Amino acid sequence: MFWVAMSRSSTCAPRASSVRIGLDAQNAIRRARGQVELGQDGQPLDPEAIKKAEKEKAAKAAPPAKKKNG
């Protein structure tokens, strides 16, 4: 989801543009800034839980190492 709202009416002062982005995009920006990711409820996630999930995901994605015989 992406949209930009710009309000420029003559009855109010100019405002900054606002952008709505999805949770994945928000978390990508937060990771780049070194901030804690947000959950679906908008609350910060536990950094230790994130690290554990990333390790589990990496372990599943990597094929087991083969031993060389000889």
pLDDT at 26: 92
Q: Looking at the domain assignment, is residue 66 inside a domain?
A: no
Say if 56 falls within a structural domain: yes
6-22 pLDDT, tens digit each: 555 556 666 777 788 89
Note whether 47 and 36 are within 8 A (CB): yes
Domain that holds residue 42: 17-61
Q: In 3D, which of 2, 10, 6 has the Cα closest to residue 18?
A: 6
Number of domains in the chain: 1
Q: Determine the average pLDDT of the residues in 17-41.
A: 89
pLDDT at 47: 78
The verdict on residue 48 lying in a domain is yes
Whether residue 32 is predicted with pLDDT greater than 90 in this model: the reply is yes
Residue 24 within any structural domain of the chain: yes
6 domain-assigned? no
The answer to whether position 69 is within a domain reads: no
Of residues 49 and 7, the one with the higher pLDDT is 49
For 17-49, b/e burial (b = at least 16 CB within 10 A) is eeeeeeeeeebeeeeeeeeebeeeeeeebeeee
**54 occurs within a structural domain:** yes
